[in-house]
């Protein structure tokens, strides 16, 4: 996103907020695909931001009072009353403003953005209650009971605090009948306590770390910003330089000031090491927020964030939509990571929206990364962001040496297992590393066994029935899988077309296949595979990471989940099986993404005392991205990238939006795409490309066309889109989806 979009004014809604009234009509926004609130009557004390239950059609919906006064032109008598006001803190003005901005900027329904805020259904249900017992004040004598030893122990126990029946039984060493008698005669009386998880306060001074000079300077700068308004700071430090330790100091300062902190991470499932470090530093675990949370934890966490009880939240991009009581700092860790971009019912760039939220909340935000993206770098150069640089790795660790293997010259040689994916030089180096007892890691950004199955007898390729895509073989699971729609089928025994029993052949490598070769070549090595497969769960990932830390693994093979933040001190060799894989992409960020990914993967090597070496296998050793990696020269690479984007007026030098037209009926879908193409704006500041069939023309049984809108920086691209799309009549069954600042172009 372009920073100019952030220069909006925070409308002062405070007057509306404090003006609570009786017997009025209010607009209630519902978590449904609408942009407008619906009218309801209120009775009693209700204000904007209040969370309410209202009748809607045949259902009861939870919504938020969005405005005072009537919107629709209907008779007051037709307007239904709200059912009830839910006893939760109202959404803050800032959060309301944030929801409005996210919807308008990303061209999403206001109601669907609200839905992301109200995402913990359990919050609105009646809370689960625990029945505890306390002393009523009635004595045994008054209840005409004898004073037995058992009864005395119960009374002594409950003098300290109320407990439930099981706890009383265990704590006083008495049977349930004793307790029942005491309840029946009224010596013990019940108290209802809400059942919920407690969130302990992190301790800012629990275990302080001695920072290096370079780190201290950065930490001081960040700490001084807490409580002093909005500011974006890029914390740009090479892998292993201690960025986490530095921003932990800012977290500590926010804790000391009694403010809440949000730390956004790319993939929370992969943060076991990070969570361990947090606990070591602050004495407690932070609250976690991600899509895989259980209902109960989701509910408890949402409430604890709303009341301020949960002080530090670490979460995926969705944590940005929580109702913080008093947010004081946002940290975006690995801020370059593409997984912050959501492509779903609401398309948004989580990192950019985090900056928006910080601006609205008037708080500082830290972007921590070793490989900042071009947009961020340019904002830092222009002085819109502050930049703090950490040049060296912590302690003795040095950056790894990067070597290129030209696989045209250093050709992988076939063996008993079949085709080879490892160049002789790499094989030799892995052997050498094994002999030294050091760990190696092989990286290939391709899940499964082989990306394609082809019949050698008739040439048939096995395609997904729902998408224009080949099925990937997952040999361990004996399945063929579509990586676009999730379609899955048993691997067939013979060719579905010519029925040849020997024709089907795996084509190309996936991690499973590389692992097969590695196991053949190094039968004594302890080999593990880590991949974000449908067969892998968080528990398995934790286990492999632990084994790796404990040096119970010699060779680790995996996909891009290896790139993210792991710290394995004994890892000294990284082999990148196919450095060209990402460079083939046609989209505008392909080189940048490859540079970042390969830097991050390389950054896993040599983080301990021993030096690390990285081997890049490629067909194109002269490629500029790879050369920049070898030289460790991010700035030359970024300058090249900057020039080419400047020339093409691509972001951040221009604005970009994708329009995707999809539908089950091929004619209707194509017609809408053509209409859009014909009614497109084109002048010296606005240009439209397309329509064209999307690279994945059929996805999940829907036909897809794409158009690309490019405008100059000073054009409000959303307004152009709104006017444009309004010109076209869109029939039922065809969807027109907008993706502002698109990252993927499939
Ligand atoms: P980055 O996030 O920049 O890749 P980390 O914060 O993960 O770097 O630091 C790399 C390793 O160095 C970690 O194990 C970390 O605990 C350690 N480290 C960094 N700075 C210090 C310090 N000042 N004192 C002790 N250990 C440190
Ligand atoms: Zn598919
Ligand atoms: Zn065949």
Q: Whose CA is nearest to atom 22 of ligand 1?
A: 211
Residue 571 located in a structural domain: yes
237 close to ligand 1 (CB < 6 Angstrom): yes
- The string of pLDDT tens digits covering residues 357-392 is 999 999 999 999 999 999 999 999 999 999 999 998
Q: Whose CA is nearest to atom 19 of ligand 1?
A: 242
Tokens matching residue 140: 């045994």
Same domain, 588 and 620: yes
The yes-or-no verdict on residue 551 having pLDDT over 90 is yes
For residue 617, what is the domain's CATH number? Answer: 3.40.50.300
pLDDT tens for 181-227 read: 999 999 999 888 777 778 999 999 999 999 999 999 999 999 999 99
Q: Which pLDDT belongs to residue 315?
A: 95
Quick one: DSSP state of residue 292?
T
> Between 396 and 164, whose confidence is greater?
164
pLDDT-based confidence at residue 15 (cuts at 50, 70, 90): very low
508 CA to centre of ligand 3 in angstroms: 18
Residue ending a domain, among 86, 118, 150, is 118
Q: How many domains does the chain have?
A: 6
> What is the DSSP code string of 311-322?
-EEEE-GGGGGS
Cβ distance 446 to 559 under 8 Å?
A: yes
Residue 61 lies in a domain: yes
Tell me, yes or no, whether 293 lies in a domain. Answer: no
Asked if residue 140 and residue 85 are part of one domain, the reply reads no
Residue 200, domain member (yes or no)? no
CB of 210 within 6 A of ligand 1: the answer is yes
Alpha-carbon separation of residue 290 from 260, 261, 270, 293 (angstroms): 18, 16, 12, 6
pLDDT level of residue 20 (50, 70, 90 thresholds): low
Q: Read off φ and ψ for residue 703, nearest 5 degrees.
A: -80, 145
Confirm or reject: Cβ of 212 under 6 Å from ligand 1.
yes
Task: Please tell me the distance between residue 464's alpha carbon and the centre of ligand 2 in angstroms.
Answer: 5
Separation of CA 445 and ligand 1 centre (Å): 27
Tens digits of residue pLDDT in 626-684: 998 898 888 888 888 899 888 888 899 999 999 999 999 999 999 999 999 999 988 98
- Per-residue exposure over 132-167, b if at least 16 CB sit within 10 Å of its own CB, e if not: bbebbeeebeeeeeeeeeebebbbebbeeebbeeee
Domain extent, residue 551, equals 397-446+511-642
Same domain, 103 and 14: yes
**Could you tell me if the CB of 549 is within 6 A of ligand 1?**
no
Q: What is the mean pLDDT of residues 314-337?
A: 96
User: Are the CB atoms for 66 and 57 separated by under 8 Å?
Assistant: no
* Pairwise CA distance, residues 382 & 376, whole Å: 10
* 371 CB within 6 A, ligand 1: no
One DSSP character per residue, 438-493 reads -EEEEE-S--SSBSEEEETTT--B-B-SSSSSBPEEETTTTEEE-TTT--EEEPPS
Tell me the average pLDDT across 680-707: 91
Same domain, 495 and 526: no
Cα–Cα distances (Å) from 191 to 142, 143, 161, in that order, read 21, 20, 11
pLDDT for res 11: 41
pLDDT tens-digit profile of 101-127? 999 999 999 999 999 999 988 888 877
Please tell me the distance between residue 417's alpha carbon and the centre of ligand 3 in angstroms. 23
545 HSE (CA, 13 A, CB side): 22
Please identify, by atom number, the ligand 1 atom nearest to the C-alpha of residue 390: 3
Residue 380 sits in the same domain as residue 412: no
In tens, the pLDDT along 228-283 reads 999 999 999 998 899 999 999 999 999 999 999 999 998 877 688 899 999 999 99
Same domain, 542 and 442: yes
Report how far ligand 1's centroid is from the alpha carbon of 536 (Å): 28
Same domain, 431 and 525: yes
Identify the pLDDT of residue 143.
87
CB of 606 within 6 A of ligand 1: the answer is no
> Is residue 243 within 6 Å of ligand 1 at its C-beta?
yes
pTM of the model: 0.86
Judge whether 568 and 440 are in contact, CB under 8 Å: no
Nearest CA to ligand 1 atom 4: 240
Across the chain, mean pLDDT equals 90
Residue 444 has pLDDT above 50, yes or no: yes
502 shares its domain with 517: no
Q: Are 258 and 223 contained in the same domain? A: yes
CA of 497 from ligand 3 middle (Å) equals 5
């Amino acid at each position: 996103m372009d920073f100019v979009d952030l220069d909006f004014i925070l409308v002062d809604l405070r007057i509306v907020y404090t003006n609570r009234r009786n017997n009025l009509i209010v607009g209630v926004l519902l978590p449904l695909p609408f942009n407008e609130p619906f009218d309801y009557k209120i009775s009693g004390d209700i204000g904007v931001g209040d969370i309410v239950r209202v009748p809607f059609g045949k259902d009861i919906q939870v919504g938020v009072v969005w405005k005072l006064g009537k919107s629709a032109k209907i008779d007051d008598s037709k307007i239904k009353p709200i059912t009830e006001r839910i006893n939760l803190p109202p959404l803050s003005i800032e959060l309301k403003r944030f929801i409005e901005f996210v919807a308008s900027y990303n061209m999403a329904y206001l109601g669907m953005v609200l839905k992301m805020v109200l995402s913990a259904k359990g919050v609105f249900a009646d809370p689960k209650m625990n029945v505890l017992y306390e002393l009523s004040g009635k004595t045994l004598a008054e209840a005409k009971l004898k004073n037995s030893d058992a009864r005395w122990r119960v009374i002594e126990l409950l003098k300290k605090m109320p407990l439930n029946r099981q706890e009383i039984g265990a704590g006083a060493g008495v049977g349930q009948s004793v307790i029942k008698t005491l309840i029946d005669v009224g010596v013990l009386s019940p108290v209802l306590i809400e059942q919920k998880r407690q969130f302990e306060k992190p301790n800012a001074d629990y275990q302080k770390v001695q920072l290096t000079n370079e780190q201290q300077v950065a930490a001081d700068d960040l700490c001084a910003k807490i409580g002093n308004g909005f500011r974006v700071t890029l914390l740009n430090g090479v892998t292993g330089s201690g960025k986490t330790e530095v921003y932990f100091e800012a977290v500590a300062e926010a804790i000391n000031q009694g403010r809440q902190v949000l730390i956004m991470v790319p993939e929370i499932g992969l943060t076991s090491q990070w969570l361990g470090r947090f606990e070591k530093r602050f004495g407690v675990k932070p609250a976690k927020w991600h899509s895989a949370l259980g209902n109960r934890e989701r509910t408890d966490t949402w409430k604890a964030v709303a009341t301020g009880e949960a002080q530090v939240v670490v979460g995926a991009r969705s944590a940005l939509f929580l109702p913080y009581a008093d947010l004081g700092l946002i940290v975006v860790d690995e801020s370059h990571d593409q997984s912050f971009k959501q492509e779903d019912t609401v398309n948004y760039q989580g990192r950019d929206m985090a900056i928006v939220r910080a601006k609205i909340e008037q708080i500082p935000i830290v972007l921590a990364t070793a490989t900042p993206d071009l947009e961020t770098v340019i904002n830092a150069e222009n002085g819109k962001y502050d930049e703090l640089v950490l040049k060296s790795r912590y302690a003795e660790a040095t950056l790894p040496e990067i070597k290129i293997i030209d696989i045209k010259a250093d050709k992988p040689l076939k063996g008993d297992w079949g085709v080879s994916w490892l160049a002789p030089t790499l094989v030799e180096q892995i052997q050498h590393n094994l002999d030294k007892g050091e760990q190696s890691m092989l990286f290939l950004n391709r899940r499964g066994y082989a990306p394609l199955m082809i019949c050698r007898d008739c040439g048939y390729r096995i395609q997904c029935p729902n998408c224009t895509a080949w099925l990937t073989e997952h040999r361990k699971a004996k399945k063929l899988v579509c990586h676009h729609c999730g379609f899955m089928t048993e691997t067939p025994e013979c060719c579905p077309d010519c029925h040849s029993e020997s024709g089907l052949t795996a084509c190309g490598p996936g991690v499973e296949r590389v692992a097969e070769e590695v196991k053949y070549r190094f039968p004594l090595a302890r080999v593990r595979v880590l991949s974000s497969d449908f067969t892998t769960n968080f528990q398995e990932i934790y286990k492999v990471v632990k084994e790796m830390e404990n040096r119970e693994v010699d060779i680790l093979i995996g996909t891009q989940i290896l790139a993210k933040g792991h710290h394995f001190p004994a890892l000294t060799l990284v082999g990148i099986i196919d450095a060209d894989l990402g460079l083939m992409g046609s989209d505008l960020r392909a080189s940048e993404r490859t540079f970042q990914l390969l830097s991050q993967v390389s950054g896993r090597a040599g983080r301990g005392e021993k030096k690390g070496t990285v081997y890049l296998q490629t067909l194109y050793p002269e490629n500029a991205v790879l050369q920049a990696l070898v030289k460790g020269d991010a700035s030359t690479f970024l300058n090249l990238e900057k020039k080419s984007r400047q020339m093409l007026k691509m972001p951040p030098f221009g604005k970009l939006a994708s329009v995707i037209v999809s539908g089950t009926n091929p004619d209707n879908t194509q017609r809408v795409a053509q209409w859009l193409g014909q009614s497109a704006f084109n002048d010296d500041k606005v240009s439209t490309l397309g329509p064209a069939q999307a690279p994945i023309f059929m996805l999940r049984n829907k036909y897809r066309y794409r158009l690309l809108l490019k405008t100059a920086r000073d054009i409000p691209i959303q307004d152009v889109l709104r006017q444009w799309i309004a010109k076209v009549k869109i029939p039922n069954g065809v969807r027109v989806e907008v993706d502002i600042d698109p990252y993927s172009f499939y």
